[in-house]
Amino acid sequence: MSVPLPEFQGEDEEREFWATHDASDYADWSQAQRVVFPNLKPTTKAISLRLPESMLDELRALANQRDVPYQSLIKIFLRERIDMEYGKGLAISERRPTYKTGNR
């Protein structure tokens, strides 16, 4: 259970209050909700992946047909497969295509 917050007369009074009090004493965690930030760019990590040259050539050709970088196409293919393995709806290639303008 949380402690009720006092009424502050101004920012200076509130600043002084929080300088000497712990905010966790005033939070009602039973009312907390999980928050999703859909517009945040996920953190990426570079990896080294050895592929047969013929497979890489095929990926580059497919990417060229779709006008996307081949690394992006690899990520799309991996996302589709992961979603299929976890049973998450249609694969990206089965969805209605969307087109993005601008830099690749």
Residues 28 and 52 in one domain: no
How much is the pLDDT for 92? 53
Residues 43 and 66 in one domain: yes
- Both structure tokens of 2: 């949380």
Range of the domain at 53: 37-104
Query: What are the residues whose beta carbons fall under 8 Å from the beta carbon of 43, sequence distance 6 or more?
Result: none
Single-letter code of the amino acid located at 11: E
Residues 58 and 86 in one domain: yes
Identify the three-state secondary structure at position 52.
coil
How much is the pLDDT for 77? 95
Number of domains in the chain: 2
The residue with tokens 């999703």 is 36
Residues 25 and 45 in one domain: no
Q: For the chain (length 104 residues), average pLDDT per consecutive 10?
A: 82 92 84 83 89 96 96 94 82 51 46
Residues 25 and 3 in one domain: yes
Residues 64 and 25 in one domain: no
Residues 53 and 96 in one domain: yes
